Amino acid sequence: MALEVDGVELATDDQGFLIDPDAWNYQVAEVIAQQQDLQLGAEHRQVLDFIRQHYTEHHVAVDARFVIKFLADELGYGKRARRRLYDLFPYGYLQQVCKIAGLRMPRGWSTG
């Protein structure tokens, strides 16, 4: 499969995850989000930035519990952080957040 962004085709796997996470940028995120009927806002971008920063430093997807902690502590959601993650990304961490962040589907995870 391929994803077209500004006339450039980016390779994806059969689930729509980017093959090359380094090909990601906000335009790619917007296209993937639009395919899922999601309009990205400032908080979406903050979550995506957090995930991408972790990926850049550690070369793996950050565990969802750390994203929830980021929402709780850094964005001030406290105990409402888990709910806020699903408000922002209704299809969940793997199916939506990692995909929009341009990460490969983590090994051992399945969206099917």
As a whole number of angstroms, the distance between CA 77 and CA 111 comes to 27
For residues 8 and 106, the model is more confident at 8
Q: What's the mean pLDDT in 91-105?
A: 90
Please state, in angstroms and rounded to a whole number, the distance separating the CA atoms of residues 72 and 17.
27
Percent over 90 (pLDDT), the chain? 80
User: What's the predicted TM-score (pTM) here?
Assistant: 0.90
pLDDT tens per residue, range 45-55:
999 999 999 99
Q: What is the mean pLDDT of residues 2-22?
A: 93
**59/106 Cα distance (integer angstroms):** 11
Q: Which amino acid is at 15?
A: Q
Contact 38, 60 (CB under 8 A): no
* Contact between 42 and 76 (Cβ < 8 Å): no
- Provide the pLDDT confidence category of residue 106 given band limits of 50, 70 and 90: low
Longest Cα–Cα distance in the chain: 43
Q: Which amino acid is at 33?
A: A
pLDDT of residue 2: 86
Q: Name the pLDDT band for 1 (thresholds 50, 70, 90).
A: confident
pLDDT digits (tens, 9 = 90+) for 63-79: 999 999 999 999 999 99
